[in-house]
Amino acid sequence: MRKKLFAELIGTFILVFAGTGAIMINDIAGAIGHVGIALTFGFVIVALIYSFAHVSGAHFNPAVTIAFWSMGEFERKNVFPYIFAQILGAVIASSSLYLLLNENFINVSEVSYLGATLPSGSLVQAFGFELIMTFILMIVICSSAVHGKATKDFAGLAIGLTVGLESMFAGPITGASMNPARSIGPAIISGNLENLWIYIIATILGSVFAALIFLKVFQSD
């Protein structure tokens, strides 16, 4: 279990460090751009899944962990330890970025509050986008990595491409979280907790709903 928790911690650390780091560096240097940020999130997910799936299942996302538990694919006793490890990894990543880059900004608002996920429109719009995007992500995860007939060697690529695609089209609207830990880390370290609830509740609801649909519609095939 210790190896699994460390894999979840270090994997979530890498995800948040690379993804939100790209946002911060783009704010500082203007050298990456929106597409580059989206690709960073997608690429790092691909790398992490192929690196850690055989160790911990490569969740790196509390919403995914909860969804797997809801569909009987994950033991209840391991849910809290996994989520704790994921959030801790995200917080350490945001702390590291702050320490490494703080000489490049005066206020955290200059670097998007350390790459936090913030709605650009209404709260209803952000909630809807996050719920639907996490639903899509979880359906892809289940269909590519859980289904008995899936070609699982390509699961990492399918999941990473989905994250990159959703980040590319919805990033300017909501920050395209799809992951409570990814949002909690920057929010805690930057001190901007406003609207964080959206990125916790909507993503969990979206992932659990996707798990239910998968079980009822696709798993029986």
Domain ranges of the chain: 2-218
Q: What is the pLDDT of residue 217?
A: 84
Q: Distance between CA 63 and CA 56 in Å, rounded?
A: 15
Is residue 64 helix, strand or coil? helix
Q: What is the pLDDT of residue 145?
A: 81
Q: Distance between CA 24 and CA 191 in Å, rounded?
A: 16
Q: What is the pLDDT of residue 220?
A: 60
Q: What is the pLDDT of residue 191?
A: 96
Q: What is the pLDDT of residue 150?
A: 63
DSSP 8-class letter at 131? H
Looking up tokens 């996994």 gives: 82
Query: Residue 206 contacts by C-beta under 8 Å, 6 or more apart in sequence?
Result: 63, 130, 131, 132, 133, 134, 135, 137, 138, 178
What class has domain 2-218?
mainly alpha
- Can you say how many angstroms the Cα of residue 143 is from the centroid of all Cα atoms in its chain? 18
For residue 199, give the amino acid letter: Y
Is residue 192 helix, strand or coil? coil
DSSP 8-class letter at 118? -
What residues of the chain score a pLDDT lower than 70?
148-151, 219-221
